[in-house]
A and B are shown apart, each in its own frame.
Chain A
Amino acid sequence: MTTTGSRLDLSRAALNDLLNNTLDGGYRAAAARHRPARWFDGPLVWLACLAVGLLLVVAYQQSHLAAPARDAARKELISRIGSAQSTANRLEDQAKQLSSEVASLRDAQLAGTDKALRNAELAAGSTATTGPGMQLEIGEPTSQASAGNARPGTTLTTAVIRDTDIRAVVNELWADGAEAIAVNGLRLTPTSFIRLAGESIQIDFTPLTSPYTISAIGNSNELQVGFAQSQIARRLKTLAAVDGISFRFGGKSKLRLPSVTVGDLRYAEPGAAASSAPPSPTASPTATESR
């Protein structure tokens, strides 16, 4: 007990000393010694004060003037990202143009139009397509706009619509007989994926932003009826009522879906009986990736 008591006294004394004896002990000791003033006392103090002033300014400059440099580096990085993206877009356009050129050359070579080939291309999403169908639009609640002006770098965790919702809608549309689907103008192919990366929904590595417009080509009535009766439609209606997302869908007499460049297939090879039946879109990985 005595040891803890003395330790307590010690810490109490230390705290008292810290709080009440704020002056450096050296001053009192020096004053008690009555040392006579020397000639270098003045310059010494002068130099020390100079050093203090210098230190203050240097510290200020380091903490405040270094910020613009960081900002400039950030801007530089952003501009580099922008130029890389525009290069990618240009290359994508070029690839599309070249593939359409290839298609027209092939059509010129092949006698007549090969129906099976056409269907396969359509199913693969490598040709632009038009037709009737339905379109639905899902948007994050408008209060999202106020959360959008948060500090840059902070992630928004308030997103109501998840990748699973978009995926469920797409799967439902395939199941209702859609023949081609695009989300926000991105055509879905048999190798497309819809997933969440960070806080954004991505399709084939391209991030989407709300509102999400999903267009499907197929029998307009069948698609609408099938979708309206589906579970995901009920869920979206609930989300619209509870969380305030915008959700509407309707038939369209004419939809135009863009094409995408399909990457090289490295492992899959055409089977012997491939030409007999075109691959149905419902067999796509997107569809099999159901909840």
Chain B
Amino acid sequence: MIAAIALVIGVILGIVFRPTVPLWIEPYLPIAVVAALDAVFGGIRARLDGIFDAKVFVVSFISNVLVAALIVFMGDKLGVGGQLSTAVVVVLGIRIFGNAAAIRRHLFRA
């Protein structure tokens, strides 16, 4: 509950202050969002499973975002940025779907 409020506050802060990001970060933002969503869904599922751990959540969030950005960065340098982005999105997408299915089972018993 507190986490959800924090998320909403983060959104409001972003809307109010409109932080400008450096241009070189821009290509990594979409991938970072997918990675962050993966961490969030993983955290929610762990919470519902009763094994939530703050440290794991925070570390997985940060490392997910960084690793995803790093892979895309390397791909850009090697000239296969598009393909590596696709790979990251596919893997994280599968995980998000799996976690979302687990959360659904917890919430609706279906």
Binding site for B on A (CB under 8 A): 18-20, 22-24, 26-28, 30-31, 35, 37, 40-42, 44-59, 61-63
Beta-carbon contact of A58 and B14 below 8 Å: yes
- Given known pairs A24-B46, A31-B51, the reply for A53 and B9 (CB within 8 Å) is yes
Beta-carbon contact of B91 and A52 below 8 Å: no
CA distance A51 to B4 in the complex (A): 12
Binding site for A on B (CB under 8 A): 2-4, 6-15, 18-19, 21, 26, 29-30, 32-33, 36-37, 39-40, 42-43, 45-46, 49-62, 65, 91, 94-99, 102
The 8 Å CB contact of B30, one of A20, A48, A63, is A63
Q: Which of A37, A46, A47 lies at the interface centre, i.e. has the most chain B CB atoms within 10 A of its CB? A: A46
Beta-carbon contact of A51 and B94 below 8 Å: no
Beta-carbon contact of B61 and A51 below 8 Å: yes
The 8 Å CB contact of A53, one of B10, B19, B55, B58, is B10
The minimal Cβ–Cβ distance linking A149 to chain B, given in whole angstroms, is 30
The minimal Cβ–Cβ distance linking A33 to chain B, given in whole angstroms, is 9
The 8 Å CB contact of B58, one of A18, A20, A44, A63, is A44
CA distance A45 to B58 in the complex (A): 7
The minimal Cβ–Cβ distance linking B83 to chain A, given in whole angstroms, is 18
Chain A residues, CB < 8 A from B98: 19-20, 22-23
Chain A residues, CB < 8 A from B18: 61
Chain A residues, CB < 8 A from B91: 18
A46 nearest CB neighbor, chain B only:
B6
Chain A residues, CB < 8 A from B58: 44-45, 47-48
Beta-carbon contact of A49 and B29 below 8 Å: no
Chain A residues, CB < 8 A from B26: 62
Chain A residues, CB < 8 A from B59: 26
CA distance A24 to B63 in the complex (A): 12
Chain A residues, CB < 8 A from B7: 49-50, 52-53
Chain B residues, CB < 8 A from A54: 10-11, 13-14, 19
Other A-B contacts than A24-B39, A47-B6, 8 sampled, CB-CB below 8 A, are A30-B55, A49-B3, A53-B12, A54-B11, A55-B32, A55-B33, A55-B36, A56-B10
The 8 Å CB contact of A57, one of B14, B52, B94, B99, is B14
The prevalent SS among residues of A at the interface is helix
Chain A residues, CB < 8 A from B37: 52
The minimal Cβ–Cβ distance linking B67 to chain A, given in whole angstroms, is 13
The 8 Å CB contact of B21, one of A31, A41, A52, A58, is A58
CB-based closest 4 A-B pairs: A53-B10, A22-B98, A57-B14, A41-B54
Beta-carbon contact of A27 and B42 below 8 Å: yes
CA distance A44 to B54 in the complex (A): 7
The minimal Cβ–Cβ distance linking A187 to chain B, given in whole angstroms, is 50
CA distance A61 to B42 in the complex (A): 25
Chain A residues, CB < 8 A from B96: 22
Chain A residues, CB < 8 A from B45: 22-23
Beta-carbon contact of B36 and A35 below 8 Å: no
CA distance A45 to B42 in the complex (A): 13
Chain B residues, CB < 8 A from A55: 10, 29, 32-33, 36, 65
Chain B residues, CB < 8 A from A24: 39, 42, 46, 56, 60
The minimal Cβ–Cβ distance linking B63 to chain A, given in whole angstroms, is 10
Beta-carbon contact of B10 and A22 below 8 Å: no
The minimal Cβ–Cβ distance linking A3 to chain B, given in whole angstroms, is 25
The 8 Å CB contact of B11, one of A18, A26, A56, is A56
Chain B residues, CB < 8 A from A41: 54-55
CA distance A24 to B26 in the complex (A): 27
